[in-house]
Amino acid sequence: MDNRKLGILAVVAAVMVLWAVLQARLSGGRRAVPSGPTYLIQGLDPADIDSIAIGKGKNPIKIQRQEGRFVVTNKANYPADAKQINDLITKALDIKTSELVTSNPKNHGDLQVTEDKARNVVKFFKADGSLLTGVVVGESRESGRGTYVRLASSDDVYLTEEAPWFRDRAIDFVNQELVAAKREDVNAVTVTTPEGTYTLRSEKGDNVRLVNMPAAKKLKDSDAKSVLTALTSLRFEDVNTPQQVTGLTFDHEYICRLNNSTEYRLKLAKKGEKTYLLCEADYLDKTPVTIKPNQQDSQVELKKKEAKLLGQEGAQKFTLRHKGWIYEIADWKAKYLTMKQSALLEDKEKPAEKKAETPAPAPAVAPAVTPVPGPNQPKVAPAVAPTPGPNQPKEAPQPVKAVAPRTEPNQPAAAAPASAEPNAARPK
């Protein structure tokens, strides 16, 4: 090969190298435009998350992985609710972007996607403390649908049609439910206050009975039912360690016994306007569950043994979970957990006394009126009772009815004949 051909080949090779370099530079500077909605966060493995920061400013909510589970650092490392953590991660991963708005960080302030102005900031960190990924949610677009979002590690701001709302209180990431007993499972409750102790029992239907009901008293049904069913939905407002809340006197006690032998015991104290409680559980049936290899139990017996084992396990887990924690509860719930017996009772209604009846006045009787004869009518002689003779027995006088004389018009009234003596001589 002569020198001329070698020179041509060298020039061609140099041109191809230059072309390759130009292509690389052009492809690196060109931004890919998605053809449709794409996920903002891609390739995140939840197992790589060691901690989570939620919120803006210097005091965000901090959630830390500890011994295989997450705890809320802001709440003295109280166990986080796995459901809430999964919901948080899912919301972040489900953010879809529709278009790129800007890549200039100078525009972040106007779109409120800076960490101090953003509506929500969620960051996920590795075990070494470095940022794994995160999202910054800004304001909504003034014209049309959409909200501005960006990755915490990127200056690119995108528009998303459905921006999630992340919880912003530390207490939101723990399970606030203490007890959720079913109404039909509650057998009895015993309440102790400085005034004394009383017991309420479930009766048929929805009725409640007070043991040793005082005479001349009756139960306030509505309040009694609220006391009996206080553990059908018991939640706490806040959680503390004994070091965080001091000076408490637990002088109230609430014990709830279920039909399956589970017993919940609460000790309550009041400080200022707040009510605090400690809680534990026990399974009262202490007889051991035995399983004989050579004896086959019936299905009924197996279910009874299974229920007993589950009850024992549930009581143990409840006590271990709440041991060492002091809970603050709502005032309206504390009212029924600490209600004294006198507040549950009221006086029976006394039977209405019968008033002495005043006899009704006798009806007025019009006096008898003797007819007065007219000026041209003779007077009527009064009727005279006959006088018995000397040899005749006297008869009891008979009442004489006065008869008004009937007078024809313009005729004089006839005189009444005189009564003859019984022994009078007849005219000859």
Please determine, for residue 229, whether its predicted confidence score (pLDDT) is greater than 50. yes
pLDDT (average), residues 212-224: 94
Number of residues assigned to the chain: 428
Name the residue with higher pLDDT: 300 or 367. 300
Q: How confident is the model at residue 426 (pLDDT cuts 50, 70, 90)?
A: very low
Mean pLDDT confidence for 303-329: 95
In contact, 159 and 148? CB cutoff 8 Å = yes
Cut 0.75: pTM above it: no
> What are the sequence ranges of the domains in the chain?
38-173, 177-347
**What was the pLDDT predicted at 1?**
54
89/34 Cα distance (integer angstroms): 24
- pLDDT for 410 equals 47
Render pLDDT for 245-286 as a digit per residue (tens, 0 to 9): 999 999 999 999 999 999 999 999 999 999 999 999 999 999
224 and 230 Cβ atoms separated by less than 8 Å: no
Q: What pLDDT score was predicted for residue 421? A: 44
Do 165 and 232 meet the contact criterion of CB atoms below 8 Å apart?
no
Render pLDDT for 58-79 as a digit per residue (tens, 0 to 9): 889 999 999 989 999 999 999 9
Angle at 368 between CA 366 and CA 371, to 5 degrees: 130
Report the C-alpha gap between 272 and 266 in whole angstroms.
19
Strand partners, 217: 347
For 280, counting Cβ atoms within 10 Å of its Cβ (0-12 exposed, 13-18 middle, 19+ buried), the class is middle
> Looking at residue 408, what is its pLDDT?
46
What confidence score (pLDDT) does residue 295 get? 78
Does 80 score more than 50 pLDDT?
yes
Residue 236 pLDDT class (50, 70, 90 cuts): very high
What integer pLDDT is reported at residue 43 of this predicted model?
87
pLDDT, position 415: 44
- Beta carbons of 199 and 190 less than 8 angstroms apart: yes
CB 134 within 8 Å of CB 123: yes
- Report whether pLDDT(381) > 80: no
Question: Is the model more confident about 378 or about 84?
Answer: 84
**Cα separation of 45 and 50, whole Å?**
11
Average pLDDT value for the chain? 83
What does the pLDDT read at residue 4? 59
Residue 6 has pLDDT above 80, yes or no: no
Q: Which structure tokens are listed for 45?
A: 């493995």
- Looking at the chain, the whole-number percentage of residues with pLDDT higher than 70 is 74
The average pLDDT across 4-10 equals 59
Percentage, residues of the chain above pLDDT 90: 63
